[in-house]
């Protein structure tokens, strides 16, 4: 027995009508009986196409200001009836219920209403009841009914109607049912998250309907996917497709540069999620040159990001470096022409888009969720722990170093001088190792550490780090404090004329 079915009737009730006209006209050409409600009914009548009001089918008017229109046995019976079930067929005949083969329904724009800043009553009114029920019913009965649940599906559905003159396969009906449950589950997730925005319920619901298959994951033998609206966040101007690792680096770069969004021209170079070069200068060109000087070796194949439009002079410098991605608020025409000289180089404009305020990662057989680290250390947070206080210039460098430190893998030590990253020790198992790594790296690139400052993402349990720092020429330190042995480091600094400030905030990043 064939599972292909020729459609004979349709229920259409949608919020978004763009692109609906050609479908309605095709259904009319196929002789399909159309039922509809409210604004959609008027839309169809305006096309000079016959339509039966749902009220005529149910013998019941739309009530409660439109809150109840389609919630009726004569509607849901026609959708949910099993065409090969004798009892269902008999009951349809007994109660004069027509079979409904197509359900074209979308949902009130709940997420857009929330995002618009609307008041709670307006938001609540955008919780769809009839639409979500129709979608679930039609999708459940995909053996006999096809459900078109979003305007994004209009073109594909019209193609099916045109291709087979209204004869639809079970495969197509089941595929559209999957789309429908994707729509309905995402909608319910958005509603729950609105009511649970303060996390009173210890429940995690994440839904992303924009998905992209990547070439591979972190390594070629791993599959990789990205779920999110990348095109909302970036305007891609040039280059190859971004990889899994590119996306991780871009994420780290965006979060770091956001700390310096309103500062003087700033350039960052990242590799494996950590800054290997960073500088703030009067011009973007000089900021890039000094950022690159921080580690020209690691910069090879890195991610570049800045907080100003990239001009011709800066682009000419960048073009000499092999880099994977360049991100900026904008590019001058001359800069764009230069940077497009490498066909695979990815050029992105960073749009002004709010980032998630929680972080999520898999852990064991579950998931870890936490608030994003939105605390940025400022001058007002600094507590002088030593007799000697930092100079104004050192304070500027301490804040600068602290911002970079916050976005560097723990354990980390960051060394800064004159708003330039000299070196950092990243991802070490001990703070001493991180410091020694940073000093060795800075010296290998011929940086003078005399007068430099040091930032640490966590407290010093012993005075060994401040001793090593002093011997390298470092004159000021910023750290959270909080160790039961803080006094040991304080005493050493006092004895050796080093200034040290506490912030009271730890910035681990694992």
Q: Which residues are catalytic?
A: 140, 272
Q: With contact defined as beta carbons under 8 Å apart, do 295 and 283 qualify?
A: no
Beta strands 421-425 and 413-416, pairing class: antiparallel
Under DSSP, the state recorded for 417 is S
CA of 384: how far to CAs of 387, 450, 479, 499, 500, in Å? Answer: 8, 21, 11, 8, 6
Cα end-to-end distance, the chain, whole Å: 59
What single-letter DSSP state applies at residue 457? S
**368, two tokens:** 């870890």
**Residue where the block lists tokens 């020790």:** 425
Helix, strand or coil for residue 500?
strand
Q: Please check whether residue 242 is in contact with residue 250, taking contact to mean a CB–CB distance below 8 angstroms.
A: yes
Confirm if 415 and 274 have CB atoms less than 8 A apart.
no
CA atoms within 13 A on the CB side of 453: 30
Q: What is the C-alpha separation between 193 and 215, in angstroms, rounded?
A: 32
φ/ψ region of 26 (left if φ > 0, alpha if ψ in -120 to 50, else beta) reads alpha
Instruction: Give the integer Cα–Cα distance in Å for 289 and 146.
Output: 60
Residue 67 burial (CB count, 10 A):
11
Alpha carbon distances (Å) from 75 to 95, 98, 99, 290: 12, 8, 9, 70
- Angstrom distances, CA of residue 102 to CA of 27, 290, 494: 10, 64, 80
Is there a contact between 407 and 509 (Cβ–Cβ < 8 Å)?
Answer: yes
φ and ψ of 503, to 5 deg: -105, -20
H or E stretch at 101: none
Handedness of CA 97, 143, 14, 136 (dihedral sign): positive
């Amino acid at each position: 027995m064939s599972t292909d079915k020729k459609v004979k009737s349709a229920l259409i009730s949608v919020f978004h009508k763009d692109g609906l006209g050609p479908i309605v006209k095709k259904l009319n050409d196929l002789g399909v009986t159309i039922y509809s409600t409210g604004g959609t009914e008027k839309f169809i009548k305006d096309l000079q196409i016959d339509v039966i009001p749902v009220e005529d089918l149910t013998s019941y008017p739309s009530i409660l200001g439109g809150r109840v229109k389609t919630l009726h046995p004569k509607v849901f019976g026609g959708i949910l009836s099993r065409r090969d079930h004798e009892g269902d067929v008999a009951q349809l005949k007994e109660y004069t219920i027509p079979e409904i083969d197509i359900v074209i329904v979308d949902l009130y724009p709940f997420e857009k209403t929330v995002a618009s800043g609307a008041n709670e009553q307006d938001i609540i009114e955008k919780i769809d009841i009839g639409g979500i029920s129709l979608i679930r019913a039609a999708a459940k009965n995909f053996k006999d009914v096809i459900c078109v649940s979003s305007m994004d599906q209009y073109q594909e559905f019209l193609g099916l109607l045109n291709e087979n003159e209204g004869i639809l396969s079970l495969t197509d009906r089941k595929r559209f049912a999957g789309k429908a449950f994707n729509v309905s589950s995402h909608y319910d997730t958005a509603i729950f998250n609105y009511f649970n925005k303060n996390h009173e319920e210890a429940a995690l619901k994440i839904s992303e309907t924009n998905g992209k298959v990547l070439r591979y994951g972190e390594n070629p033998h791993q599959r990789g996917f990205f779920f999110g609206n990348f095109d909302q966040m970036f305007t891609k101007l040039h280059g190859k497709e971004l990889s899994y690792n590119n996306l991780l680096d871009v994420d780290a770069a965006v979060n770091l540069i956001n700390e310096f969004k309103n500062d003087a021209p700033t350039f960052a170079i990242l590799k494996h999620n950590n800054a290997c070069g960073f500088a703030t200068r009067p011009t973007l060109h000089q900021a890039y040159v000094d950022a690159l000087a921080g580690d020209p070796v690691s910069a090879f194949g890195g991610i570049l990001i800045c907080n100003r439009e990239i001009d011709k002079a800066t682009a000419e410098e960048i073009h000499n470096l092999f880099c994977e991605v360049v991100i900026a608020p904008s590019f001058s025409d001359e800069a764009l022409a230069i940077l497009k000289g490498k066909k695979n180089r990815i050029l992105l404009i960073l749009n002004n888009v709010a980032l998630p305020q929680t972080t999520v990662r898999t852990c064991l057989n579950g998931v870890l969720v936490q608030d994003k680290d939105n605390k940025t250390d400022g001058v007002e947070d600094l507590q002088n722990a030593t007799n000697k206080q930092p100079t104004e210039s050192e304070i500027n460098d301490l804040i600068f170093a602290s911002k970079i430190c916050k976005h560097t893998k723990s354990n980390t030590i960051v060394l800064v001088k004159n708003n330039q990253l000299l070196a950092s020790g990243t991802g070490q198992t001990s703070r001493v190792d991180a410091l020694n790594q940073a000093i060795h790296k800075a010296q290998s690139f011929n940086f003078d550490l005399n007068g430099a400052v040091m930032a640490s993402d966590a407290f010093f349990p012993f005075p060994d780090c401040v001793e090593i720092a002093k011997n390298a020429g470092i004159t000021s330190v910023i750290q959270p404090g909080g160790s039961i042995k803080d006094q040991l480091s304080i005493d050493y600094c006092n004895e050796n004329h080093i200034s040290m400030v506490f912030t009271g905030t730890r910035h681990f990043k694992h």
